[in-house]
Structure 1
Amino acid sequence: MTRYLVGIDNGSQSSKVTVFDERGGVVAEGRVPLRPNHTPEPGVVEHPDDDLWDSIAAACRLAMAAFPGDPSDIVGVGLCTIRFCRAVLRADGSLAQPVMSWMDARVGGPFVAEHDDVAYVTTSSGYVTHRLTGAFRDTAANYQGSWPIDTDTWRWADDPARYAATGLDRSQLFELVDPGAVLGTVTADAAAATGLPEGLPVVATANDKAVEALGCGLLDPSTLLVSLGTYIAGMSVGERNITSATDFWTNFGSEPGRWLYESGGIRRGMWTVSWFRDLLGPGAVAAAGDERVEDVLNREAAQVPPGSDGLLTVLDWLAPTDAPFRKGSMLGFDGRQGRAHVYRSILEGIAMTMRNRADAMGTELGTCYERVVVSGGGSSSDLMMQVMADVFQRPTIRVVGDSAAGRGAAICAAVATGVHPSFDAAAAAMVVERDRFAPDPEHAAVYDALRAVHADVTAHTDAVYRRTAAIVG
Structure 2
Amino acid sequence: MTRYVVGIDNGSQSSKVTIYDDHGRVCAVGRVPLPSNDSPRPGVVEYPDDVLWESIAEACRRALSDFSGDPRGIVGIGLCTIRFCRAILRSDGSLAQPVQSWMDERVGRPYRAEVPDAAYVTTSSGYITHRMTGNFTDTVANYQGVWPLDAAHWAWSSDEQDYRRTGMPRRMLFDLVMPGEQLGTLTPAAAGSTGLPAGVPVIATANDKAVEALGAGLQDPQSLLLSLGTYIAGMSVGDAGRTGATSFWTNFGAEPGKHLYESGGIRRGMWTVSWFRDLLGEGTVREAESRGESVEELLGREAHGVPAGSDGLLTVPDWLAPAEVPSRKGSILGFDGRQGRAHMFRSILEGIAMTMKERTDAMAAELGTTFEHLVVTGGGASSDLLTQILADVFDLECLRLEGGSSAGRGAAICAAVATGLVPTVSDGVERFAVVTDRTEPIPENTEIYRDLETVYRDVRAATDGIYRRTRETLG
**TM-score past 0.5 threshold:** yes
Q: Distance in 1 between matches of 2:325 and 2:206?
A: 31
Secondary structure of 1:266 counterpart: coil
In structure 2, give the amino acid aligned to 1:277.
R
From 449, 456, 459, the equivalent of 1:457 is 459
Q: TM-score by structure 1 length?
A: 0.99
Q: Distance in 1 between matches of 2:438 and 2:249?
A: 28
* Contact 1:22-1:430 at 8 Å conserved across structures: no
Q: Distance in 1 between matches of 2:352 and 2:229?
A: 11
Per-residue CA deviations over 1:359-413 (Å, capped at 9, x if unaligned) read 1101111111111001111111111010000000011100111210000000000
Where in structure 2 are the equivalents of 1:220-259 lying within 5 Å? 220-259=220-259
Per-residue CA deviations over 1:9-57 (Å, capped at 9, x if unaligned) read 0000110000011222110111111111010100000000101001001
Secondary structure of 2:270 counterpart: helix
Q: Distance in 2 between matches of 1:108 and 1:46?
A: 14
More off after superposition, 301-310 vs 319-328? 319-328
1:459 is displaced (CA, Å) by 0.2
1:136 is displaced (CA, Å) by 0.3
1:65 is displaced (CA, Å) by 1.6
In structure 2, give the amino acid aligned to 1:414.
A
Residue 311 (structure 1) aligns with: 313
Residue 341 (structure 2) aligns with: 339
Q: Distance in 2 between matches of 1:359 and 1:90?
A: 46
Where in structure 2 are the equivalents of 1:195-274 lying within 5 Å? 195-274=195-274
* Contact 1:228-1:378 at 8 Å conserved across structures: yes
Alignment length, in residue pairs?
Answer: 473
Q: Distance in 2 between matches of 1:277 and 1:150?
A: 45
Secondary structure of 1:330 counterpart: strand
1:260 is displaced (CA, Å) by 0.1
1:320 is displaced (CA, Å) by 1.5
Q: Distance in 1 between matches of 2:161 and 2:418?
A: 35
1:64 is displaced (CA, Å) by 1.2
From 420, 423, 436, the equivalent of 1:421 is 423
**RMSD after superposition:** 0.7
Residue 54 (structure 1) aligns with: 54
In structure 2, give the amino acid aligned to 1:23.
H
Residue 351 (structure 2) aligns with: 349
Secondary structure of 1:269 counterpart: coil
Secondary structure of 2:127 counterpart: helix
Q: Distance in 1 between matches of 2:214 and 2:323?
A: 29
In structure 1, give the amino acid aligned to 2:361.
D
Q: Distance in 1 between matches of 2:403 and 2:352?
A: 22
Residue 176 (structure 2) aligns with: 176
Per-residue CA deviations over 1:119-173 (Å, capped at 9, x if unaligned) read 1000000000000000000000000000011111110011111111111100100
From 368, 371, 374, the equivalent of 1:372 is 374
Q: Distance in 2 between matches of 1:344 and 1:151?
A: 42
Q: Distance in 2 between matches of 1:459 and 1:97?
A: 44
From 292, 297, 301, the equivalent of 1:295 is 297
1:2 is displaced (CA, Å) by 2.3
1:332 is displaced (CA, Å) by 0.3
Q: Distance in 2 between matches of 1:11 and 1:22?
A: 25
Q: Distance in 2 between matches of 1:185 and 1:88?
A: 22
Per-residue CA deviations over 1:324-378 (Å, capped at 9, x if unaligned) read 1111000000000000000000000000111111111011111111110011111
Q: Distance in 1 between matches of 2:52 and 2:472?
A: 40
Secondary structure of 1:459 counterpart: helix
Q: Distance in 1 between matches of 2:29 and 2:442?
A: 37
Secondary structure of 2:32 counterpart: strand
From 394, 397, 400, the equivalent of 1:395 is 397
From 320, 343, 346, the equivalent of 2:322 is 320
1:321 is displaced (CA, Å) by 2.0
Secondary structure of 1:224 counterpart: strand
In structure 2, give the amino acid aligned to 1:328.
G
Q: Distance in 2 between matches of 1:373 and 1:22?
A: 24
Segments of 4+ moved more than 6 angstroms: none
Q: Distance in 2 between matches of 1:458 and 1:22?
A: 50
Secondary structure of 2:118 counterpart: coil
User: What are structure 1's unaligned runs of at least 5 residues?
Assistant: none
In structure 2, give the amino acid aligned to 1:304.
V
Where in structure 2 are the equivalents of 1:23-34 lying within 5 Å? 23-34=23-34
* Contact 1:307-1:447 at 8 Å conserved across structures: yes
Secondary structure of 1:41 counterpart: coil
From 323, 328, 331, the equivalent of 1:329 is 331
State the identity %: 66
Q: Distance in 2 between matches of 1:142 and 1:94?
A: 20
Secondary structure of 2:416 counterpart: helix
